Amino acid sequence: MKNFLVHSDEIKREMLSEINVNTIEDLFKQVPKSAQMGELKLDNPISEMEVQRKIKSLAKKNNTEYISFLGGGVYNKFIPACISQVANRFEFLTAYTPYQPEISQGTLQVMYEFQTMICRLTGMDISNATMYDAGSACAEAVLMAVRISKKNKVLVSENLNPEYKKVIKTYCWANDIELEFFDEFPQFCADYACVLVQTPDYYGEIRKFEHSGETLLVVCVDLSSLSVIEPPEADIITGDVQTLGIPMNFGGPHAGFIACKEKYLRQIPGRLAGRTLDADGQPAYCLTIQTREQHIKREKATSNICSNQALIGLCATLYLTVMGEDGFKQAGYLSAKTAHSLSEKLEKKGFKTLNKNFYNEFTVEVPDSDEFLAKLKDNNILGGIKLDKTHILVACTEMTTETDIEQYIKSV
């Protein structure tokens, strides 16, 4: 039961001879020994059938039955089964770049519908057809604001997701942009290209901002929260689409987005799909306003992001289509309801919830974070994210049941 090997010893010798090398090891002579991998301590070769048996036995040791209260940007959301069935069709799954509209109409239409849905959710005029994730979307929004305002300083909230802050720091460092962080929303910020905030913020608090108009306001949002919360007034809105039918997948892949007012259309990075009519008067889709690096001179491009997460965007579009407006609102309502229920029960048990206004995520003060989370894990519950020695971040979704909450309370 041995697998077919592509290269026999004879073929290997022939290939090495062709390039005047004696052994395969000779190919790596230029690589320093310190960078080379040592000898792999592997068992004796076995057949594919035996490998499958061994891997399955190892997989059985994994505990996959945890109840999840994790959040911080990745959430355990309900995903209708039909989404993966459609997204995994070869017409979508194997598509790469939709440069040729005549053979990519399906992908282009999905991108267009995605943009339309994001605009409806955020109240913005324009949306692009996804970024890599919310971190890259926030960073690109900062660069976008710098281009628009011609100012070289930006203000970013300390309460922004720490992963997003890391990406922004890298982008600003590479572009010589002065980056400052703040705790309280600044009263005067006319010298800055933009103020970037998040609502609900990383700690779960729903923030309200007075948009003075003296600088650009960039707001990072949780799209699922817009099912029950009015979208913020802003110049640019960014975020992630993971809560729209995307599995947790150990943290990825995700897709981000940027939506903005129409007057900033020429500065938005990434792809934009447009709708028009063909020669026969039928609807047709194509990439439009192509200000990306692949299409124009690099120094004039809005961004060097030249791809997008079209397949993840497809999943988000399918999710919103299948759930519909009522289903989307119901999922948001249940997420908020279960989170507030858990918060109240924790308060009654003597733990302090630090949030006044929150959607589905909140910060809890506990005597010892490690001990608190360890107790929950012993009861097959992932109880939240440790923030520091005495604070944890807890999230609920429509997947959280009253039984899950009761188990959580009993375990602490």
Query: Rounded distance, CA 170 to CA 180, Å?
Result: 13
| Counted domains in the chain | 2
Are both 341 and 303 inside the same structural domain? no
Sequential pLDDT tens for the chain (412 residues): 455 667 888 899 999 999 999 998 898 888 998 888 878 888 888 888 998 999 999 998 888 889 999 999 999 999 999 999 999 988 888 766 666 777 788 889 999 999 999 999 999 999 999 999 999 999 999 999 999 999 999 999 999 999 999 999 999 999 999 999 999 888 788 899 999 999 999 999 999 887 777 899 999 999 999 999 999 999 999 999 999 999 998 888 999 999 999 999 999 998 899 999 999 999 999 888 877 666 677 777 787 776 778 899 999 999 999 999 999 999 999 999 999 999 999 999 999 999 989 999 999 999 999 999 999 999 999 999 999 999 999 999 999 999 999 999 999 9
* Residue where one domain finishes, among candidates 285, 301, 317: 317
Query: Rounded distance, CA 146 to CA 169, Å?
Result: 14
Are both 228 and 337 inside the same structural domain? no
* Residue where one domain finishes, among candidates 275, 295, 317: 317
> What is the per-residue pLDDT for 98?
67
> Cβ contacts of residue 62 below 8 Å, gap of 6+?
none
- CA dist 108 → 19, 95, 203, 293, 365 (Å): 45, 11, 37, 19, 47
How many C-beta atoms lie closer than 10 Å to residue 319's C-beta?
25
Residue span of the structural domain in which 222 resides: 81-317
Residue 287's closest CA among 301, 303, 299, 270? 270
In terms of DSSP bridges, do strands 153-157 and 194-199 run parallel, antiparallel, or are they unpaired? parallel
Q: What one-character-per-residue DSSP string does 20-64 give?
A: T-SSGGGGGTTS-GGGS------PPP--HHHHHHHHHHHHTTS--
Are both 290 and 268 inside the same structural domain? yes
Q: Assess contact for 272 and 128: CB atoms under 8 A.
A: yes
How many C-beta atoms lie closer than 10 Å to residue 308's C-beta?
25
Residue 235's closest CA among 167, 146, 153, 300? 146
Query: Rounded distance, CA 317 to CA 245, Å?
Result: 9
Are both 226 and 313 inside the same structural domain? yes
